[in-house]
Every structure is written in C-alpha cells, then in structure tokens.
Amino acid sequence: MLKLSLIFLIPTIYLQAIEPELPKAYRYLDIQEVFHQWRHEEPGQFIFSGGDFNGDSRYDGAQLVVKHATNQIVLLVFLQKSDGQSFRWIELSSFPMESIDRVGIQVIKPMEISFFKTPQSPTKSRFYLMTDAINLFTDEGPASVFFWDAGEQSFQQVWLSK
C-alpha cells in the first residue's frame, strides 16, 4: 500500500507545485476512487495533465476532480492569466461519481483530427488543432476533444468517436 500511495503522491506534489490551489467548491479524487486496472496500476494516470490550451505560452492545467455540491466528477481546467499569479477556472464537463472507473483525460498536441460535430453526426469533418487540447475518453466508449476557440474565447467540444 505504501508503494501505491507514493506513486500517487509524487505526481500530485509535482502538479500542486505548478498548479494553483483548487477552488473550495472541489476536492481532489482519493486514491481509492482512481485505482483501476486500466490505468496501468498508476492511480494518477489520466486524471490530470497540462499544456498551453489557449495559445498564450503559459502553463494551463486540466484535471478530474469532485464537486462538493453535486458529488459528481468534473473536468476542471485552469488558464493562467497574464499576471502569472491568478487563474481562470472553467468546468468543461461533469459525470456521475461511479463513472470514474472508466473516464480519463490526456493532452493532445497540435495536430489534425477527424471528428464528429455531435455524437449523432453521421459524417466526420477534419480540423487542425492549433494549441494543446484535452482528450476526454472512456476506457471502452466514446471520446471527445475540448479545444480552445480563440474567436469565441471559450472551449469547444467535438467527438472523436461515438
């Protein structure tokens, strides 16, 4: 159990050194909540990640957390503001607590993707991601990508699979 705790603790300490303090409305996931075989026996895998999501050359982060008010899993993103000391927090999606055993996130670097505009769309379109983006996936199900739309100044979601 000690080894398992250290595996989770080291990435958490590293990210907390980089990331801002989590808003009080949320809490980090407990190790028991995220230990699933498909995470390759590393509890923190696919729970948090970072990159430059809005193209301003500052470190931004994404993580799965629990919202106290609803007891749901939330994909929460922070964007570092120009002062380097404050952050904009954005909730992108939420899920029932029991879905944590199959939901994960990872950063996608700028690249061309094929996507469905909605899960019901019959045909795929192509798009080039200009900044890092967030792949939200399930271990055996649909996947979507959240990317920063500079014109709208907000995240947009497209579906990689249905």
**pLDDT (tens digit, 9 = 90+) per residue, 11-70?**
443 444 456 899 999 999 887 787 766 566 555 568 899 999 999 999 999 999 999 999
Amino acid letter at 97?
Answer: M
Cα(10)–Cα(14) distance, rounded to whole angstroms?
Answer: 6
Query: With 90 as the cut, is the pLDDT of residue 137 above it?
Result: no
Q: Which residue has the higher pLDDT, 13 or 116?
A: 116
Residue 70's CB is within 10 A of a number of other CB atoms, namely: 12
How much is the pTM?
A: 0.81
Task: List, in sequence order, every residue forming a beta bridge with 104; answer none if it has no partner.
Answer: 137
- φ, ψ at 92 (rounded to 5°): -100, -30
Given this model, what pLDDT does residue 42 score? 57
62, 49 contact by CB (below 8 A): yes
Query: With 70 as the cut, is the pLDDT of residue 127 above it?
Result: yes
